[in-house]
Structure 1
């Protein structure tokens, strides 16, 4: 899931037909990482033959959804070895007559039809991350036995990317929002933040229409069951990262009779509200930042001197400086404190990317130049060199989160949370606060109360957690594994977000064995 974005302004956002992205000041609406790319079937692609599988219709299809479950999509060649289709789903599963949406689906067919066990659906997180753009590259890194056993299927959930999508604002508006900053710690600043959130919510409602209230995770999980049937499978086999663990657990809870082999990597805790998510992420990113500074100090070119605490104090002073007066950059756009924080957080997702921070911080600390930090923030938001924002991950992220999680936007509650954030994350916690204003202004939801998910009757589910995960702290994986009726926790000792296919042989072999044979690891296995 995405990390919180500050909210001294609207919240992570974006919009319009060209699929834009955005974020908000102090966006405490807690979000998670996703592997984001975007595209669709190649123009003019030729129709290709689908594998010979019979469409499976659930024994008890929800009334009114028979046509959706029985549809046979047309697959067209796309990418190098992939094929793409569009699958219809109801706008409102409880009222199928209210209209329909389309889901973009991309699959890489099994390399050995004789060894095929079914389809493996993959969600890379977010919420708001596209699964269609990156699935072919991801599949190429799988164990050949997994490639033989499964059609590897990526999809854009409802509201996301190439599926029927949430739309809010255009690129120029997004740039302007990123360049603005308010201080919600003051009454005047809080009023500005609320007004900005209301403007953004109104734009999303006007440009998206009824879909805006139907992109919750329960609805997306019900879409997964339609995809299962359309793909010709009696059981859904699934691998979800980050937010994808919440989507997967929700499916298993709703459709235990159709739950196959499920891997939930870098898990979210379904029992947490927005405040709980933000507090957990702030503490995890602070921990990673401390480890980064500690690793930097002995190296040539490190911009810090003295102790780890002194290095962290320099980073906090830089954030305070950017808050008081945004730093100049080479292209003329200002580095606000929001952008500085975003540029700081992005490399902390993966310890192999920590080295990006050193030159960026050196340029800012030694020369007062925010260019490199802004480039990292642009990478986080998906801003291209021409100023465009492909994809709609940020706006979809907000829309989904505001339906899925409750918030408390009472000023006193937000002030108390701000105090707690500064205790847990003294370097940057102050800028994780006041994100509740965004969802408080939202025209829909929330549609669920935070609660544990047990997925009773779904069978064994493998939960994978990293002890140094930044965006989804390890405690969340422990919590989900304990909540599930038949959950098993696999622990990776190490830093970074996500564990499978990150170079840990123990994790990769354990997950591969489970996907191929359904064999769970020993109780509380540690890699």
Structure 2
């Protein structure tokens, strides 16, 4: 299991459940200050840096003046292009660039075109183009797609955009099976070695881009995209980690922010350890919702008792798998505790996956781990041929650059495990140990937790779901309170994010904002 700060949103296919997952991080104010000033990166600061000047510098003007060459790209109705951006915004005249993949689906009409609507699915590491083609470009409300060109970009380091690469498929298979609830010093050492091997692989294969995939740089790329598309202001819907990207953009470019929707919001003031612990509690909340529902079902594999009893049975089953994994049909990948935990977590992103999760747990308890393995594979974006998308690689690269590590070594994790287990008796220990991954990262963190206020920006809609597993509701409350013009829209429900997930109340409020500029009433709940 490697679930450290991985937050994604509903929208693409997770096995048969229709999910996409996401990752969380916070952006770096030190790098942000550097990007704003165009100078070298300095020490971190816990306060906002000055906004970027309205006009690009002379060194950046050629980037803003470039013309995108659109071409068909495999999916009917969609066009793709490549946009160049400076590798290092602090030194845009160095001649070193990154190539960023962009896709769009033109407004379908009727009605006057309103410009471009840029969407981001989260991650960090989620493919914007994959999300656009599989979901947003065909699944967003028809009235929105009629008036906007639907656009997305694979952020730097992700998928088609100078991707971070780390491990071969077989080595990644081994990495996902490493025990992340170590019982003794030997198992701790094995886990540390796995994190070190992962980091070394990223350094070996991605040395050039690894120091330049921060959220701040991705936000600078968003403004470059806005300019190249010819839009005066950025209209944007970001989900999960995409909320942090959007809020960072608004803080850097408040005068260029248009209608921004931040769904499944993150709180940028939370430190790495607090983010991980908060998310641990979020998955506990989601699991208890699942457990209450499961206990009502005749076929619940975890029994018919109260949520504490259901949770205890799952913990006992994880311990059984830790000692003796069950077959999956793939001899090299039996279902142990690590993969089983990842499979369960994957299905907690969306309540529509609960029946699949019940069936997968039932099968695993009967000695067939294929169902939970399939869920875990969807979480990791593992292909049937054994290859992996670069989601997990980009996720670690962004997270470890955006904030200092949650822990510096095993002793610090051991001391924190009780607080994580208090947050979640089921998942706490695993989440605590997974948070150690950035301790061995080869690129030094450039940022720290800080407020994002976006002073001068127009109203920004922040959406929070009360029982969201990956981005706890209090994060949405925190971000909405920080943003100078933040407006909180609440969905009382389960699952990760809210827009486009079946709530007419939420969808109507956001559609009116995107199409008419009408902000939801303060304190509105659905």
* Alignment TM-score, normalising by the size of structure 2: 0.88
Q: From the superposition, tell whether residues 291 and 424 of structure 1 become closer, same or farther in structure 2 (CA, over 3 Å).
A: same
Per the TM alignment, residue 465 of structure 1 is displaced from its structure 2 partner at its CA by 0.7
Q: From the superposition, tell whether residues 461 and 503 of structure 1 become closer, same or farther in structure 2 (CA, over 3 Å).
A: same
For residues 2-34 of structure 1, the C-alpha deviation after alignment (integer angstroms, 9 at most, x for no partner) is: xxxx4xxxxxxxxxxxxxxxxx3xx4x312014
State the alpha-carbon separation in 1 of the partners of residues 111 and 318 from structure 2: 58
Partner of 2:76: 80
Partner of 1:247: 245
Among 61, 65, 69, which residue is 1:66 paired with?
61
Q: How do residues 361-372 of structure 1 correspond to structure 2 at under 5 angstroms? A: 361-365=361-365, 367-372=366-371
Q: Kindly indicate whether the alpha-carbon contact (under 8 Å) linking 1:118 and 1:149 is maintained by their aligned counterparts in 2.
A: yes
Q: Kindly indicate whether the alpha-carbon contact (under 8 Å) linking 1:281 and 1:471 is maintained by their aligned counterparts in 2.
A: yes
Q: From the superposition, tell whether residues 130 and 278 of structure 1 become closer, same or farther in structure 2 (CA, over 3 Å).
A: same
Per the TM alignment, residue 475 of structure 1 is displaced from its structure 2 partner at its CA by 0.6
Partner SS, residue 213 of structure 2? coil
Partner SS, residue 134 of structure 1? helix
Per the TM alignment, residue 363 of structure 1 is displaced from its structure 2 partner at its CA by 1.8
Per the TM alignment, residue 434 of structure 1 is displaced from its structure 2 partner at its CA by 2.1
Among 394, 397, 404, which residue is 2:402 paired with?
404
Partner SS, residue 462 of structure 1? strand
State the alpha-carbon separation in 1 of the partners of residues 95 and 444 from structure 2: 18
State the alpha-carbon separation in 2 of the partners of residues 216 and 182 from structure 1: 27
Among 274, 277, 289, which residue is 1:276 paired with?
274
Q: From the superposition, tell whether residues 148 and 304 of structure 1 become closer, same or farther in structure 2 (CA, over 3 Å).
A: closer
Partner of 1:206: 204
For residues 295-336 of structure 1, the C-alpha deviation after alignment (integer angstroms, 9 at most, x for no partner) is: 122322222334122221110001111112222222222112
Partner SS, residue 501 of structure 2? coil
* Alignment TM-score, normalising by the size of structure 1: 0.88
Q: Which moved more, 1:414-423 or 1:67-76?
A: 414-423
State the alpha-carbon separation in 2 of the partners of residues 93 and 102 from structure 1: 14
Q: Kindly indicate whether the alpha-carbon contact (under 8 Å) linking 1:326 and 1:335 is maintained by their aligned counterparts in 2.
A: yes
Partner SS, residue 433 of structure 1? helix
Partner of 2:97: 100
Partner SS, residue 525 of structure 1? coil
Q: From the superposition, tell whether residues 36 and 141 of structure 1 become closer, same or farther in structure 2 (CA, over 3 Å).
A: closer
Partner of 2:327: 328
Gaps of 5+ in 2: 14-52
Aligned length, in residue pairs: 481
Q: Kindly indicate whether the alpha-carbon contact (under 8 Å) linking 2:327 and 2:335 is maintained by their aligned counterparts in 1.
A: yes
Q: Kindly indicate whether the alpha-carbon contact (under 8 Å) linking 2:78 and 2:104 is maintained by their aligned counterparts in 1.
A: yes
State the alpha-carbon separation in 1 of the partners of residues 370 and 243 from structure 2: 35
Partner of 1:457: 456
Among 246, 255, 261, which residue is 1:257 paired with?
255
Q: Kindly indicate whether the alpha-carbon contact (under 8 Å) linking 1:266 and 1:472 is maintained by their aligned counterparts in 2.
A: yes
Partner of 1:305: 303
State the alpha-carbon separation in 2 of the partners of residues 113 and 163 from structure 1: 33
Per the TM alignment, residue 188 of structure 1 is displaced from its structure 2 partner at its CA by 2.8
Partner SS, residue 159 of structure 1? coil
Per the TM alignment, residue 114 of structure 1 is displaced from its structure 2 partner at its CA by 6.2
Q: How do residues 382-401 of structure 1 correspond to structure 2 at under 5 angstroms? A: 382-389=381-388, 391-401=389-399
Q: From the superposition, tell whether residues 496 and 59 of structure 1 become closer, same or farther in structure 2 (CA, over 3 Å).
A: closer
Partner of 1:168: 166
State the alpha-carbon separation in 1 of the partners of residues 121 and 476 from structure 2: 16
Q: From the superposition, tell whether residues 449 and 59 of structure 1 become closer, same or farther in structure 2 (CA, over 3 Å).
A: closer
Partner of 2:6: 31
Q: Kindly indicate whether the alpha-carbon contact (under 8 Å) linking 2:178 and 2:194 is maintained by their aligned counterparts in 1.
A: no
For residues 142-174 of structure 1, the C-alpha deviation after alignment (integer angstroms, 9 at most, x for no partner) is: 333322321110110000001111011111211
Partner of 1:515: 514
Q: Kindly indicate whether the alpha-carbon contact (under 8 Å) linking 2:409 and 2:439 is maintained by their aligned counterparts in 1.
A: no
State the alpha-carbon separation in 2 of the partners of residues 92 and 153 from structure 1: 24
For residues 277-308 of structure 1, the C-alpha deviation after alignment (integer angstroms, 9 at most, x for no partner) is: 11111111112212212212232222233412
Q: Kindly indicate whether the alpha-carbon contact (under 8 Å) linking 1:281 and 1:472 is maintained by their aligned counterparts in 2.
A: yes
Q: From the superposition, tell whether residues 353 and 207 of structure 1 become closer, same or farther in structure 2 (CA, over 3 Å).
A: same
State the alpha-carbon separation in 2 of the partners of residues 153 and 253 from structure 1: 21
Partner of 2:38: none
Partner of 1:133: 130
Q: From the superposition, tell whether residues 361 and 509 of structure 1 become closer, same or farther in structure 2 (CA, over 3 Å).
A: same
Partner of 1:115: 112
Gaps of 5+ in 1: 1-5, 7-23, 38-57
Partner of 2:484: 485
State the alpha-carbon separation in 2 of the partners of residues 477 and 185 from structure 1: 36
Per the TM alignment, residue 73 of structure 1 is displaced from its structure 2 partner at its CA by 0.9
For residues 36-74 of structure 1, the C-alpha deviation after alignment (integer angstroms, 9 at most, x for no partner) is: 68xxxxxxxxxxxxxxxxxxxx95113411111100010
Partner of 2:40: none
Q: Kindly indicate whether the alpha-carbon contact (under 8 Å) linking 2:178 and 2:191 is maintained by their aligned counterparts in 1.
A: no
Q: Kindly indicate whether the alpha-carbon contact (under 8 Å) linking 2:54 and 2:253 is maintained by their aligned counterparts in 1.
A: no
